[in-house]
């Protein structure tokens, strides 16, 4: 899959042009105001980007997960807030519903999700425990007659408080396991926006991703129908492990986009910026720095292509997803730092894209599993354990 076929290349080119012509001219203003770009999201919906991996029978484009990754890379070359909005809505919102939902749930939600008219969110992380799942999970759901009663809170949940958010898929403790296992029973339950007892906090003030929606959520005796259970009771842990493996490939693609965007911006700048009588791109120190940036982006792209290839083939891809996410996030962070250095004082100004890239890069080493978690996963796949 190292060479894109005509269909993939046509998609990549379409999203590249959209990012350059539609997103790039206006996203800086949204970023400065910490405003959610509803008009851009609407256009992305009409383009079918939110439905790329969703079958046509549910209103999607009938593509695959690699197509989504290509779109994420091209968007993130210009802006990560828009890219993470698409990633979270599709990878974390729509895909678990498509994979594990009942036909009734899919018929109700997927057409609007695939069209970008509605956004879904995935409520896993909690204030007191990020990586520590299931041990750190405190949110509970108790079956009371024909309803689940949910109590607890979630943190750092993307797309959870927009005007078009339809639901949050909440991972919760639903009781001890029948087999007596020490691991608690975790299930996933769909909680529609506006449900009594479901409170969405105000937006976080974030270092980066300033034009995306991220919130803390709380549930106080929040009742939803028993039919809102996503998949089988007690399968929530397995569901989100699969969801996170896929999500890591998507975040790797987004990371590659940011890393490549740093190369794009630096190439333009070093040809225009003069110092000591000539363009700074003629100095070998600058040339080597840009060359290293291109190597990082290229290598990280090959890593996520490989992970996506194994995933689409139905082969185990946990190790490859972790490698892609680790390599990609490292490339994004390193390239953002080098691009900012090349731009000098201008790189510290938010009006220049590399300033946004620098602010956006760090979270890529944290979200969807920290870099330390990726190393742990890779070591386990190599047969090493604590």
Question: Distance (Å, rounded) from C-alpha 374 to C-alpha 318?
Answer: 10
The CA angle 67-231-199, to the nearest 5 degrees, is: 85
Pseudo-torsion of CA 187, 188, 190, 194, nearest 10°? 80
The answer to whether 368 is a known catalytic residue is: yes
Q: Provide the token pair at 126.
A: 């909690």
First to last CA, the chain: 35
State how far the Cα of 71 lies from the Cα of 67, in Å rounded to an integer.
6
Q: How far is CA 251 from CA 49, 112, 186, in A?
A: 16, 23, 25
Catalytic member of 73, 87, 265, 368: 368
User: In this structure, which long-range contacts are made by residues 371-377, counting pairs with CB atoms below 8 Å and at least 24 apart in sequence?
Assistant: 371/326, 371/329, 371/330, 373/131, 374/248, 374/322, 374/323, 374/325, 374/326, 375/322, 375/326, 377/318, 377/319, 377/322
Residue 22 DSSP symbol:
I
Please, are residues 224 and 147 in contact by the beta-carbon 8 Å criterion?
A: yes
Cite the active site residues: 368
């Amino acid at each position: 899959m190292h060479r894109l076929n005509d269909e993939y290349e046509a998609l990549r080119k379409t999203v590249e042009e959209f990012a350059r012509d539609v997103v790039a001219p206006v996203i800086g203003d949204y970023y400065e105001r910490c405003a959610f770009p509803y008009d851009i999201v609407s256009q992305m919906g009409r383009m079918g980007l939110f439905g790329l991996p969703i079958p046509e029978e549910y209103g999607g484009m009938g593509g695959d997960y690699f197509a989504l990754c290509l779109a994420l890379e091209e968007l993130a070359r210009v802006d990560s807030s828009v890219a993470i909005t698409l990633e979270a809505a599709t990878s974390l919102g729509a895909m678990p519903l498509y994979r594990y939902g009942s036909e009734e749930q899919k018929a109700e939600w997927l057409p609007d999700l695939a069209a970008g008219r509605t956004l879904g969110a995935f409520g896993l992380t909690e204030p007191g425990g990020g990586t520590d799942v299931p041990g750190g999970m405190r949110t509970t759901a108790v079956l009371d007659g024909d309803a689940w009663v949910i109590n607890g809170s979630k943190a750092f949940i993307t797309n959870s408080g927009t005007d078009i958010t339809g639901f949050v898929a909440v991972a919760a403790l639903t009781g001890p396991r029948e087999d007596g296992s020490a691991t608690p029973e975790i299930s996933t339950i769909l909680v529609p926006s506006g449900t009594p007892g479901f409170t969405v906090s105000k937006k976080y003030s974030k270092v980066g991703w300033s034009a995306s929606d991220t919130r803390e959520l709380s549930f106080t005796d929040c009742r939803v129908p028993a039919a809102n259970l996503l998949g089988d009771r007690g399968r929530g842990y397995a569901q989100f492990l699969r969801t996170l493996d896929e999500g890591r490939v998507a975040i790797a693609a987004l990371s590659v986009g940011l890393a490549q965007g740093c190369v794009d911006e630096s190439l333009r700048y070093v040809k225009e910026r003069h110092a000591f009588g000539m363009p700074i791109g003629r100095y070998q120190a600058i040339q080597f720095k840009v060359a290293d940036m291109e190597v990082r982006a290229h290598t990280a792209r090959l890593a996520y292509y490989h992970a996506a290839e194994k995933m689409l083939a139905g082969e185990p891809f946990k190790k490859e997803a972790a490698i892609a996410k680790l390599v990609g996030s490292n490339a994004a962070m390193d390239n953002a730092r080098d691009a900012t250095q090349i731009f000098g004082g201008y790189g510290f100004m938010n009006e220049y894209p590399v300033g946004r890239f620098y602010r956006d890069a760090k979270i890529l080493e944290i979200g969807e599993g920290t870099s330390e978690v990726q190393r742990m996963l890779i070591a386990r796949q190599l047969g090493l354990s604590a």
